[in-house]
Amino acid sequence: MYQDMYERWLAAELDDADLKPELESVKGDDAAIQDRFAVALKFGTAGLRGVIGAGTNRMNIYVVRQATQGLANWVKTQGGSQTVAISYDSRIKSDLFAKTAAEVLAANGIKVRVYSALMPVPALSFATRYYNCNAGIMVTASHNPAKYNGYKVYGADGCQITLEAADAVLAAIDKHDYFDSIELTDFDAAVAADKIVWIDDKCLRDFVDAVLALRPGNDVSKLKLVYTPLNGSGLEPVKMLLDRMGVTQVTVVPEQEKPDGSFPTCPYPNPEIREAMALGMEYARRCNADLLLATDPDCDRVGIAVRDGEDYTLMTGNEVGCLLLDYIINARRAAGTMPEHPAALSTIVSTTMVQRICEMNDVHFEATFTGFKFMAEKLAEYKAKGNYEYILAFEESYGYMMGDYVRDKDAVTASMMAAEMAAYYYDRGM
């Protein structure tokens, strides 16, 4: 079966010139062919994720086309605006996969809003709701090694899709062949016909405005900060935000500033891993910085290191989550912006210290299953019932969510709040 599928792909006229040489290179290698074709990448609530390459068990334009055709079929059943937002990060072929998804959607009569340059997860979640879309697509493999890419789908609420929606999309995907049953149009022609529309700068500015509106407003002008986007998508929104906050002493790690899907200085670009933070910590020492911020390639996670004597300490997600919660409570009370019935959210595998902080401060607390879609569902429940207003949601793996404009991990907002928190405590010698 997998040999037959391999032969079919090998004989096909493939639109991506990188695929045919790879298929030729494994001719006669049964194990390599089996690895590429024995199974297909499985679509779920986290979308798709796999090694980039040729085959049904790889990330390539044919797998993306099939997945997007399934998504298009589902969107057609949803009514509403019949619009999908698309963003992508710096990974290898992310821009190609984003363009491919747009071509399929446009051919199916679905309007596409796509960022003209790479943008992070929170910007995609924001745009999905900003344009009243039925869904959003984020092309990313998050913090996996460079050989991976992926495809995350968001619902109209800006959250990653539910299990029920994922099952419906998967059922639609399974009805389509990789080559013969996909609707496809030319990208440039669809742009000319206004079927594919670029997301304009106002959307990004409004996103940053929404982030800034959460600020308690403590002075950050004395803060010395080093930032690294780890060659990912965080540079433009995070730099724009820091500038508008008034952080004037910012050093961006030059080797990790520009988008680069090969991640040459951090092969595993996960800020939870000390090796990924090593170059940033070196620059922090050179600059005698107060704070190091590092966002992962799709900018939904942020790692933090703080000065500790002559060196720097890399803080855990649990530590930062607890510090942020305590700071937000105190800062919002001082500013008079604390909700009447505040709530905080975390997960069943995160620290229990957060519950104690909530108890001490009369803040409602709930722990959900792991994953921000569960915390975002709880946020939606609060809004529907009008009983609580959340002030922070976090999990131990460097994910934080604040505000109601993004419904997933948001390293842009977390970077702002961490910088302001650091400045607040340094001003007090703490």
Question: Greater confidence, 143 or 150?
Answer: 150
Q: Provide the pLDDT for residue 29.
A: 95
Distance CA(324)–CA(47), nearest Å, equals 30
Between 38-47, 254-263, 411-420, the lowest mean confidence (pLDDT) is in 38-47
Q: Is the pLDDT of residue 390 over 90?
A: yes
Q: Verify whether residue 142 is a known catalytic residue.
A: yes
Averaged over 366-377, what is the pLDDT? 94
Q: Over the chain, what is the mean pLDDT?
A: 96
Q: Is the pLDDT of residue 128 over 90?
A: yes
**Percentage of residues in the chain with pLDDT exceeding 90?**
94
Residue 178: pLDDT band with limits 50, 70, 90: very high
- Tens digit of each residue's pLDDT (9 = 90 or more) over 72-111: 999 999 999 999 999 999 999 999 999 999 999 999 999 9
- Residue 185, Cβ neighbours under 10 Å: how many? 17
Q: Provide the pLDDT for residue 396.
A: 95
State the SS3 of 260-283.
CCCCCCCCCCCCCCHHHHHHHHHH
Q: Is the pLDDT of residue 44 over 90?
A: no
Q: Provide the pLDDT for residue 32.
A: 97
> Tokens 């500038």 sit at which residue?
243
Q: Provide the pLDDT for residue 231.
A: 97
For residue 138, list its beta bridge partners.
Answer: 87, 152
Averaged over 115-142, what is the pLDDT? 97
Distance CA(188)–CA(192), nearest Å, equals 6
State the SS3 of the chain.
CHHHHHHHHHHCCCCCCCHHHHHHHCCCCHHHHHHHHCCCCCCECCEEEEEECCCCCCECHHHHHHHHHHHHHHHCCCCCCCEEEEEECCCCCHHHHHHHHHHHHHHCCCEEEECCCCCCHHHHHHHHHHCCCCEEEEECCCCCCCCEEEEEEEECCCCECCHHHHHHHHHHHCCCCCCCCCCCCCHHHHHHCCCEEECCHHHHHHHHHHHHCCCCCCCCCCCEEEEECCCCCCHHHHHHHHHHHCCCEEEECHHHCCCCCCCCCCCCCCCCCHHHHHHHHHHHHHHCCCEEEEECCCCCCEEEEEEECCEEEECCHHHHHHHHHHHHHHHHHHHCCCCCCEEEEEECCCCCHHHHHHHHHCCEEEEECCCHHHHHHHHHHHHHHCCCEEEEEEECCCEEECCCCCCCCCHHHHHHHHHHHHHHHHHCCC
- Residue 298, Cβ neighbours under 10 Å: how many? 34
User: Whole-model pTM above 0.85?
Assistant: yes
Cα 213 to chain centroid, rounded: 21
Q: Provide the pLDDT for residue 197.
A: 98
- Tens digit of each residue's pLDDT (9 = 90 or more) over 180-202: 899 999 999 999 999 999 999 99
Q: Provide the pLDDT for residue 41.
A: 94
| Residue of 87, 142, 350, 397 marked catalytic | 142
Q: Provide the pLDDT for residue 310.
A: 85
Q: Provide the pLDDT for residue 428.
A: 85
